[in-house]
């Protein structure tokens, strides 16, 4: 007796998705340079006479996104951007977010917050659920900008974090960008924090910039979050040229993981590429560590399937999450979801062909990674009024 083999591609679109790390979309119309800036991690335009459409992501935009705007697949970049402009940014966004078929967006608000839709705005535009993650370093910068003195700063930070956590479901740290992940893993003393605050305040006045790059203070905000037993997202791996990629290997957090075991906090390693196997190891051995390959799925296009498969070599299926890490261009939410679904389905097809994994088991795994792990880690099923996790 043979049972008909059903490809996971046939049912993968029915799987709920929680995008556990993304940013808001930009509603304004984008010109060519504005759009190209959103499909690269570089902070410089492509060399004269070349285009960022000639990348995995650019090909995915032309191949998969052009039909959503009513064009043939692989329409030229010029035709694509002309059509996008005709429709207007808000209409293009509504189309891509509808096609993305993401059930819940967990939106980080700390980066260029004035240009992008808020979590509520994302929920409304996408007709989806939404939640917020706050950036730890940004909260400290907000306090400084609001005129908080060094004296009382530590207490004020704790109060501000508590207040934001009455609605936010977790926090994010960009320690990787600001100091690298090889920071001293333990919490700093109060005296060390106060000394670092004095230094930071003086530098901020001198440079007229509140940007927080002090290692002691970044450790302080991280441990404030650990004490509150919340999900803590870390930027890991590649990003824009601000990162020293060799200091973004998640293995540098190994001692931090040891020290936060049993704290009640969870650690979510974002993006991870090209260290997704290292991240998988950490998620494998530390009970409070999770990971995703968001961003990498978008930027690797036709290779996304391989990265998804590699990330699931060691990552337990109850530790892997979906994210798009989309920012600004609605194409990135759509492609993040589409390429994740396709890549996971093809991977499951391959493994079931080789090892006979039953369809019910494949579906169960896809549901864990797509949404159920995120629901569990971020307690998404709790009403927001119970959001304070102190």
Helix (H, G, I), strand (E, B) or coil at 21: strand
Angstrom distances, CA of residue 220 to CA of 71, 138, 157, 159, 268: 51, 13, 10, 14, 18
- What character string, x for contact with Zn ion (CB under 5 A) and - otherwise, covers 266-305? ----------------------------------------
Nearer to Zn ion, 188 or 237 (CB): 237
Closest distance of CB 324 from Zn ion, Å: 9
Exposure of 127 by Cβ count < 10 A (0-12 exposed, 13-18 middle, 19+ buried)? Answer: exposed
Closest distance of CB 93 from Zn ion, Å: 18
Size of the site for Zn ion (CB under 5 A): 1
CB atoms within 10 A of CB 179: 21
Nearer to Zn ion, 107 or 143 (CB): 107
Nearer to Zn ion, 20 or 389 (CB): 20
Closest distance of CB 122 from Zn ion, Å: 14
Give the residue closest to Zn ion by C-beta: 325
Nearer to Zn ion, 132 or 325 (CB): 325
Nearer to Zn ion, 168 or 366 (CB): 168
User: Footprint of Zn ion on residues 310-339 (CB under 5 A)?
Assistant: 325
Nearer to Zn ion, 193 or 268 (CB): 268
Q: How is residue 40 written in tokens?
A: 């690269």
Closest distance of CB 182 from Zn ion, Å: 21
Closest distance of CB 325 from Zn ion, Å: 4
**CA–CA gap between residue 161 and residue 135 (Å, rounded):** 10
Is residue 270 within 8 A of residue 297, CB to CB? The reply is no
User: Footprint of Zn ion on residues 143-162 (CB under 5 A)?
Assistant: none
By the rule CB under 5 A, 137 interacts with Zn ion: no
Task: Please name every residue paired with 66 in a beta bridge, in sequence order, or none if there are none.
Answer: none
Phi-psi domain of 183 (left: phi exceeds 0; alpha: psi -120 through 50; beta: other)? beta
Closest distance of CB 235 from Zn ion, Å: 7
**CA–CA gap between residue 49 and residue 38 (Å, rounded):** 18
Helix (H, G, I), strand (E, B) or coil at 367: helix
Angstrom distances, CA of residue 362 to CA of 1, 6, 303, 369: 21, 11, 21, 11
Q: Which residues bind Zn ion (CB under 5 A)?
A: 325
């Amino acid at each position: 007796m043979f049972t008909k083999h059903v490809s996971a591609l046939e049912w993968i679109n029915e799987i709920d998705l929680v995008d556990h790390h993304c940013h808001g979309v930009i509603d304004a119309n984008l010109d060519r340079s504005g759009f190209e800036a959103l499909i690269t991690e570089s902070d410089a335009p492509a060399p004269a006479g070349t285009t960022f459409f000639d990348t995995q992501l650019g090909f995915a935009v032309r191949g998969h996104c052009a039909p959503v705007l009513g064009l043939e697949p692989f329409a030229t970049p010029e035709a694509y951007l002309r059509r996008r402009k005709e429709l207007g940014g808000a209409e293009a966004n509504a189309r891509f977010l509808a096609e993305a078929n993401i059930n819940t967006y967990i939106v980080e608000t700390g980066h260029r917050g004035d240009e992008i839709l808020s979590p509520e705005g994302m929920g409304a535009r996408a007709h989806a659920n939404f939640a917020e993650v706050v950036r730890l370093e940004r909260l400290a910068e907000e306090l400084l900008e609001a005129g908080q003195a060094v004296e009382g700063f530590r207490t004020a930070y704790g109060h501000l974090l508590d207040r934001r956590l009455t609605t936010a479901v977790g926090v994010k740290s960009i320690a990787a960008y600001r100091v690298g992940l090889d920071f001293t893993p333990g919490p700093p003393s109060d005296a060390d924090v106060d000394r670092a605050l004095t230094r930071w305040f003086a530098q901020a006045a001198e440079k007229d910039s509140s940007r927080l790059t002090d290692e002691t203070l970044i450790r302080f905000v991280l441990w404030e979050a650990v004490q509150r037993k919340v999900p803590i997202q870390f930027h890991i791996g590649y990003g824009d040229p601000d990162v020293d990629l060799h200091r973004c290997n998640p293995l540098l957090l190994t001692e931090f993981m040891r020290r936060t075991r049993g704290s009640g906090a969870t650690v979510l390693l974002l993006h991870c590429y090209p260290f997704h196997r290292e991240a998988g190891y950490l998620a494998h051995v530390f009970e409070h560590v999770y990971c995703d390959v968001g961003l990498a799925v978008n930027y690797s296009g036709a290779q996304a399937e391989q990265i998804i498969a590699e990330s699931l070599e060691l990552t337990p299926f109850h530790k892997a999450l979906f994210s798009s890490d989309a920012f600004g261009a609605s194409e990135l939410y759509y492609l993040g979801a589409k390429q994740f679904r396709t890549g996971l389905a093809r991977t499951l097809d391959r493994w079931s062909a080789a090892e006979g994994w039953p369809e019910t088991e494949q579906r169960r795994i896809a549901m864990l990674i797509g949404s159920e792990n995120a629901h569990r880690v971020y307690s998404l099923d709790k009403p927001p009024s119970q959001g304070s996790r102190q």
